[in-house]
Amino acid sequence: MRNPRHACRVLLLALAAAAAGCARDAGAPVVVEPAFLDLGSVTFGQRSEGTWTLRNRSNEPVAVSRIGPSGCQCASLELELPARATSARTITDGPPLDLTLAPGEEARVRIVLDTARYREPISRKVGSIGVHLRNHHYLTLQWGADIWTPFVVEPWAIELNEVGVRQRAQGRVLVSAHDDEDFGLAVDAVMDGWELRSRRLTPEGARALYEISVTAPRELPEGGFQKEFRFHTTLAGAPPVRFFVQGVARPDLTISPTRLLLDPQRGRAEARVTVTHRGQGGRVLDLLVEGLAPGLSLADRDEEAEAQRGFTLRWSGDPPAAAVKGVLRVHTGDREQPVLELPYSVLPARASGS
């Protein structure tokens, strides 16, 4: 059932319509019908549309130089000339027009309101769109909609960023009451390996607030991912609770940096290397380094088996006469990724000023 405040919103829209009618310029060469376009009641996530008719009621041609822009990405506009054998054209961005209306000619402007494009909670929306006439005052196309947003989902996308393929990364969304005070939401599911659980954070009878926790599958495919989830509440006719989980799955074991560059001549004779295990409960068991060229050594190394361990690579002595390049092999003790490779370069001595 709609919130009692719905009646207040309808009243406000009616007042806006009345104000639009009073503000209409009786002397304008182009008349707009209706003066206020009521797009009605729209459930959040759905679309509504309507049409204005612009009629040249004067005895002279009237040039229309621009219609729009619509003012937000939620609304798109389309222009149609019924008396001409031309297809409708989209005018969402309000580009300049080369349009002249003959005496008595009509143009139709259709608006499509897509409430799914709103990211902020909204219960009511009114707007106006400019119609620019050459050598005349501009007109406005005014519209309004009563949007039923029973609850708000925050965030609409859980950003996990970089995660290990077996990390079992976690996130959460909050579902809070907006136009409706109370509703039920029960989520206890496994979808494509993703585990979801819900719990109510406010007592029964209080304004509803739920938390949905999300846990990644036991193993994600390597690379970027985006997963959409939809769940329904106990509110009849309400839109689904909808959100995304997205990120990039990397191997559980990673090394940073991925390429090492030392420049002893300019004071960069050493660098820190870190190995991270993102797997659930994972640890870097070993940290044995092979492939050190003469002049390179390990200045220090973390000895304890932790989720993150590192070592410092140092060049000793003068800069080399020629570039030194190679690949370090770092043994991790991990069954899946026993060895990580790290390319390195040591820049040679250069002449002064180079």
Pair of tokens at residue 287? 């940290």
Cβ contact 164:252 at 8 Å: yes
Q: Provide the 10 A C-beta neighbour count for residue 263.
A: 15
Amino acid (1-letter code) at residue 285: L
Report the C-alpha gap between 79 and 48 in whole angstroms.
17
Q: Give the global pTM.
A: 0.72
- pLDDT tens track of the chain, all 354 residues? 444 444 445 445 555 555 544 444 556 899 999 999 999 999 998 999 999 999 999 999 999 999 988 777 788 899 999 988 877 787 766 678 888 999 999 999 999 999 988 877 888 889 999 999 998 888 999 999 999 999 999 999 999 999 999 999 999 999 999 999 999 999 999 999 999 999 999 999 899 999 999 999 999 999 999 999 999 999 999 999 999 999 999 999 999 999 999 999 999 999 999 999 998 888 999 999 999 999 999 999 999 999 999 999 999 989 999 999 999 999 999 998 999 999 999 999 988 755
User: CATH 2.60.40.10 in the chain, residues?
Assistant: 5-147, 151-250, 253-346
CATH number for the region 253-346 comes to: 2.60.40.10
> Domain 5-147 falls in which CATH fold?
Immunoglobulin-like (2.60.40)
CATH number for the region 151-250 comes to: 2.60.40.10
